[in-house]
Amino acid sequence: MSETIKKAIFPAAGLGTRFLPATKASPKEMLPIVDKPMIQYGVEEAISCGINEFLIITGKHKRSIEDHFDCAFELEDNLKKSGKQQLLEEIKRLNQTNIAYIRQGYALGLGHAILCAKPFVKEEPFAVILSDDIIPPEDTLLRDMMLIYGKLKSPILALQQVSMSEIHRYGVIDGVREGDGVYRVNNLVEKPTRESAPSDLAIIGRYILTPDIFDVLAKAEPGKGGEIQLTDAIGTLLQSRPVYGFLYKGKRYDAGDKLGYLKATVDFAIKNPDLSGEFKSYLLAVAKKIGNGKLPE
Ligand code: G1P
C-alpha cells in the first residue's frame, strides 16, 4: 500500500436541507463564501498539502460543481479581451485541477458516499474533506494529519472539542491521549445525546482513511437516521486496527449551518484585501447601532 496521500474525496451528494430553499436546485457546495464556492476552499486546502487527485461524489442538481471546475472558453476569451489578466488566471487555474466525478444515485449517507469512491481510491490511503467544514486557508490541519499518518500508518480523524449542547450534531469519540494532540480511539458514537456522549471530542470534516474501510462499508447496516454511517464503519474497523484522532485547536466554520456560514462570510470578508476597509467600517457602524438597541436600516 502506498504511504503518501495523493487522493482526496469530497462527498457532495447531500440534500442540503439546512439551506433550503437556496439548495432546492443548486448544490450547497456551490454557496459562496465571499467570492469562492465552499467546495473550492476544500480543494485548495488539499492542493496546498500536495494532493493532486480529486474525486467529488455528486448527485442530483450538482452539475454546476462540474461546470465550476471545467474550462469556460467564452468567459476566458472575454476576460482576455477586456484585459482582466488576474481574474483570467484565477479562472483558468480551476480547470487545471485533476477532478473525477462519481454519482451517488441515492443519498444513503456519508458511509455510502465513501464506498462509492472505492474504484477511484483502489489500494491507497486517502483524505476525506467535508467541504461545509471550512478551515482557514492559512491553517495546517490536513497537513498535520498527513504527517501523523506518515508516522502511525493508521486512519486519522480530525477532532474538535465542542460544547455538550452541540454534541448531538457530531460523531463523537471515546479515546486516550497518546501524544501531542493525538488520541487513540477506543469507541465512536454517531450523533449521541448529551447523556450518551462518551466525551466532548467531536469528529470534524477531515479524515485520513485506509482502503480497508471499503470492506467494512460494503457490509455496513444503516445506522443513525437510517443512513450508512462512516462513524459506525470506523467503529467496526477498530476491531482489526488502531484508529487515531488529532485534536484541532484552530478555527473551523460549520458552513453547512446558517450561523456558521454567516460567521465564515464575515471573517473571510474582513480578511479580503479588496473589501476589508469598507466592510470593517460597515460592521462597526452596525455593531454601534445594535449596541444602542437599534436595528440596521
Ligand atoms: C458528518 C458525520 C459526523 C461528523 C460531521 C462533521 O455528519 O456523520 O460524524 O461529526 O459530519 O461535520 P453531518 O454533518 O453530515 O450530519
Cell of 224: 443513525
Three-class DSSP category at 172 = strand
- What is the CB neighbour count within 10 angstroms for residue 122? 13
Q: Say how many Å lie between the CA of residue 275 and the centre of ligand 1.
A: 32
String of DSSP letters for 20-61: TTTTSSS-GGG-EETTEEHHHHHHHHHHHTT--EEEEEE-TT
Confidence of residue 63 (pLDDT cuts 50, 70, 90): confident
Regarding pTM above 0.85, the answer is: yes
Percent with pLDDT over 70 in the chain:
99
Cell of 24: 432546492
pLDDT at 117 over 70: yes
Identify the pLDDT of residue 79: 87
Average confidence (pLDDT) over 112-132? 96
Tell me the C-alpha distance between 109 and 115, whole Å: 10
Average pLDDT, the chain: 93
CB 201, CB 173: distance < 8 Å: yes
pLDDT at 10 over 90: yes
Strand-pair category, 32-33 with 36-37: antiparallel
Q: Which residue has the higher pLDDT, 261 or 15?
A: 261
Is residue 231 within 6 Å of ligand 1 at its C-beta?
Answer: yes
Identify the pLDDT of residue 179: 85
pLDDT at 192 over 80: yes
Q: What is the DSSP letter of 272?
A: -
Identify the pLDDT of residue 75: 87
Domains recognised in the chain with CATH numbers: 7-256 (3.90.550.10)
Percent with pLDDT over 90 in the chain:
75
Identify the pLDDT of residue 294: 82
Identify the pLDDT of residue 2: 52
Q: Say how many Å lie between the CA of residue 17 and the centre of ligand 1.
A: 14
Which residue lies with its CA nearest to atom 9 of ligand 1? Answer: 171
Average confidence (pLDDT) over 160-188? 96
Is residue 253 within 6 Å of ligand 1 at its C-beta?
Answer: no
Which residue lies with its CA nearest to atom 15 of ligand 1? Answer: 110
CB 217, CB 209: distance < 8 Å: no
Dihedral pair phi/psi, residue 139, rounded to 5°: -85, 160
Is residue 110 within 6 Å of ligand 1 at its C-beta?
Answer: yes
Is residue 27 within 6 Å of ligand 1 at its C-beta?
Answer: no
